[in-house]
Amino acid sequence: MANIKQQMKRNLQNEKRRLANASFKSGLKSAVKEVEESVENKDKEKANKALSLATKKLDKALSKGFYHKNYVARQKSRLAKLVNSI
86/65 Cα distance (integer angstroms): 32
What is the reported pLDDT for 68?
Answer: 96
Mean pLDDT score across all residues of the chain: 96
Q: For the segment 42-61, what is each residue's pLDDT rounded down to a tens digit?
A: 999 999 999 999 999 999 99
Cα angle: 7, vertex 11, 13; to 5 degrees: 115
All structural domains of the chain: 5-84 (1.20.58.110)
pTM confidence score: 0.84
1 falls in which pLDDT band (50, 70, 90)?
confident
When pLDDT is cut at 50, 70 and 90, the band that residue 37 belongs to is very high
